C-alpha cells in the first residue's frame, strides 16, 4: 500500500485527503497514517495538513523498494520488484529466484553489485549510489532459436526508454550496446536455462552508467555516463521504470509476431552504425564495409566494396567504426 499511496501523491501533485486514501485503498485512517509515517522514515517529505490531507513535497532522489514500485506502471513487466542494497550479481539472484518459481516479469534491482559481470565473463564496475543494475526474469514459450533476439529487444527498449525519460540522445551500437555522444553507457547480459527445445527461463541483465564516476583504465576510453553526456541530474528509479515500460511494449510486439520484424524499422532508426563505414572483426579475417541496418533475424547487413551485402551474426564477430568504438 505504501507504494500505491506514494504513486497517487506523486500523480496528484496536490493535497490528497485521508478519507480519499482510505476509500481508494480500502483501509482505515490509522493504516494510512502508519503508511505515511513509514514513507517519511524512508526519507520522503510528506506534509500533513488538517482538513486538507497529505502532500508529497520537494521530491529528492530516493532509491529503493517503495520508489521503484510506485513508478512501475506496467501490466506485468517489473511486477514484482525485489530491491537489494547489495548483491553479488542481479543475474545470479534472478537465476536463483527463477529456479524457485519466480513469476515472469519479476525484476531484481540492486544499488550495488560485488561481482557484476558483462559478456565473456568480464567484470562490470558496480559501485553503490551511482548506476542502475537490474535483471528481468522472462519465461517465454517461443523456439530456442529466437532467444538471442531478446537482447535486441532490450537494447531497443533501453534506448527508447532513456530517450523518453530524459534529454539524452541514446543510440544503439549493434547489437545491443547503448551509446551517447560516442560513449558506451550501458551493457547487457542475457543468460538462460534450456532443456532440449524448452526454455525454462531467460534472465536479462542490464547495467546503465548514470552518475559521474571514474572507470577502470581498460574501459575509460569508451565508457561514459548519462549525467556527463546529457548534463542533468537523473532519477534512477524513473529511468528503470521508463526502460521496463518500453521493454514490455517491444517484447509484446516481438511475441505477437514471433519475430523481430515489427521492431526492425525502429531499431534501425537508432542504429549508430547505420550507413557508416565499419570494420568487421571476423576470426576468419577482418574486412570493411558500410552497415546498412539489421534484418529480421538481427544480423547486421554490411555492404562490401563490390556492392554485395553480407549478413553478420553477432555471436561470431564484433564491429567497430573505422576510427574508434563507433
Q: What is the pLDDT averaged over residues 296-318? A: 87
Mean pLDDT, the chain, as a whole number?
90
Query: Do residues 123 and 129 touch, judged by C-beta distance below 8 A?
Result: no
Distance separating alpha carbons of residues 86 and 88, to the nearest angstrom = 7
pLDDT in tens, 271-294: 998 999 988 888 888 889 999 999
d(C-alpha 287, C-alpha 281), whole Å: 7
Max avg pLDDT among 209-213, 247-251, 280-284, 289-293: 247-251
Which candidate, 66, 74, 54, places its Cα nearest to that of 13?
A: 54
**Across 69-197, where does the E strand assignment appear?**
81-87, 107-113, 131-138, 171-173, 177-180, 183-195
Q: Tell me what the mean pLDDT of segment 66-92 comes to.
A: 96
Provide mean pLDDT across the span 129-157.
Answer: 95
User: pLDDT band at 57, cuts 50/70/90?
Assistant: confident
Spatial separation of the C-alpha atoms in residues 116 and 123, rounded to whole Å: 6
Q: What is the pLDDT of residue 168?
A: 85
pLDDT tens for residues 24-39? 999 998 999 999 999 9
Radius of gyration of the chain (CA): 22
What mean pLDDT comes out for the span 207-232? 86
Which CATH superfamily is 65-269 part of? Answer: Bira Bifunctional Protein; Domain 2 (3.30.930.10)
Q: How far is it, in rounded angstroms, from Cα 301 to Cα 161?
A: 25
CA atoms within 13 A on the CB side of 97: 24
Please write the tens of the pLDDT for every residue from 152-173: 999 999 999 999 988 889 999 9
Q: Where in the chain is the domain with CATH 1.10.10.10?
A: 2-56
> Where do the CATH 2.30.30.100 domains begin and end in the chain?
277-321
The residue assigned the cell 529511468 is 239
pLDDT of res. 228: 86
Residue 118's pLDDT is what?
56
pLDDT of residue 229: 81
Residue 128's pLDDT is 84
Q: How confident is the model at residue 222 (pLDDT cuts 50, 70, 90)?
A: confident
> What is d(CA 48, CA 211) in angstroms, rounded to the nearest whole number?
33
Bridge pairing between strands 107-113 and 81-87: parallel
Selected from 1.10.600.10, 1.10.1760.20, 1.10.10.10, 3.30.230.10, the CATH number assigned to the domain covering 2-56 reads 1.10.10.10
Buried b / exposed e along 209-224 (16+ C-beta atoms within 10 A) = bbbeeeeeeeeeebbb
d(CA 67, CA 42): 10
Decide which of 185 and 126 is more confident.
185
User: Is the pLDDT confidence value at 68 over 90?
Assistant: yes
Spatial neighbors of 289 by CB under 8 A, at least 6 apart, are 277, 278, 280, 302, 303, 304, 305, 310
The pLDDT of residue 120 is: 52
What mean pLDDT comes out for the span 133-162? 96
What is the pLDDT, as a whole number, of residue 188? 94
C-alpha cell at 97: 529466484
- For residue 325, is pLDDT > 90? no
- According to CATH, where is 3.30.930.10 located in the chain? 65-269
Which of the residue ranges 59-68, 120-129, 182-191 would you say has the lowest mean pLDDT?
A: 120-129
Question: Would you tell me which CATH number, out of the four given (3.90.78.10, 2.130.10.30, 1.20.1260.10, 2.30.30.100), belongs to the domain 277-321?
Answer: 2.30.30.100
Amino acid at each position: 500500500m505504501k507504494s500505491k499511496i506514494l504513486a497517487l501523491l506523486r500523480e496528484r501533485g496536490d493535497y490528497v485527503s485521508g478519507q480519499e486514501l482510505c476509500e481508494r485503498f480500502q483501509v482505515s485512517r490509522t493504516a494510512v497514517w502508519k503508511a505515511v509515517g513509514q514513507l517519511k522514515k524512508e526519507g520522503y517529505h510528506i506534509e500533513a495538513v488538517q482538513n486538507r490531507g497529505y502532500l508529497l513535497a520537494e521530491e529528492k532522489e530516493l532509491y529503493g523498494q517503495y520508489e521503484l514500485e510506485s513508478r512501475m506502471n506496467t501490466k506485468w513487466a517489473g511486477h514484482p520488484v525485489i530491491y537489494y542494497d547489495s548483491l553479488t550479481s542481479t543475474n545470479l539472484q534472478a537465476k536463483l529466484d527463477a529456479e524457485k518459481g519466480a513469476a515472469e516479469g519479476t525484476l531484481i534491482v540492486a544499488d550495488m553489485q560485488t561481482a557484476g559481470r558483462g559478456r565473456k565473463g568480464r567484470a562490470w564496475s558496480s559501485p553503490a549510489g551511482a548506476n542502475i543494475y537490474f535483471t528481468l526474469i522472462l519465461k517465454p514459450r517461443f523456439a530456442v532459436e529466437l532467444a538471442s533476439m531478446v537482447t535486441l529487444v532490450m537494447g531497443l527498449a533501453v534506448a527508447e526508454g532513456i530517450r523518453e525519460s530524459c534529454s539524452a540522445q541514446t543510440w544503439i551500437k549493434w547489437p545491443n550496446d547503448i551509446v551517447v555522444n560516442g560513449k558506451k553507457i550501458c551493457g547487457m547480459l542475457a543468460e538462460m536455462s534450456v532443456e532440449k527445445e524448452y526454455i525454462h527461463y531467460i534472465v536479462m541483465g542490464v547495467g546503465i552508467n548514470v552518475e559521474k564516476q571514474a572507470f577502470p583504465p581498460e574501459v575509460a576510453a569508451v565508457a561514459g555516463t548519462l549525467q556527463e553526456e546529457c548534463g542533468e541530474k537523473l532519477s534512477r528509479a524513473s529511468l528503470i521504470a521508463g526502460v521496463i515500460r518500453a521493454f514490455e511494449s517491444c517484447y509484446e510486439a516481438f511475441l505477437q509476431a514471433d519475430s523481430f520484424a515489427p521492431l526492425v524499422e525502429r531499431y534501425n532508426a537508432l542504429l549508430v552504425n547505420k550507413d557508416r563505414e565499419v570494420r568487421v572483426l571476423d576470426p576468419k579475417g577482418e574486412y570493411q564495409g558500410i552497415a546498412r541496418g539489421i534484418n529480421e533475424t538481427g544480423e547486421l547487413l554490411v555492404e562490401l566494396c563490390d556492392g554485395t551485402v553480407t549478413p553478420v551474426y553477432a555471436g561470431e564477430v564484433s564491429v567497430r567504426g573505422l576510427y574508434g568504438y563507433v
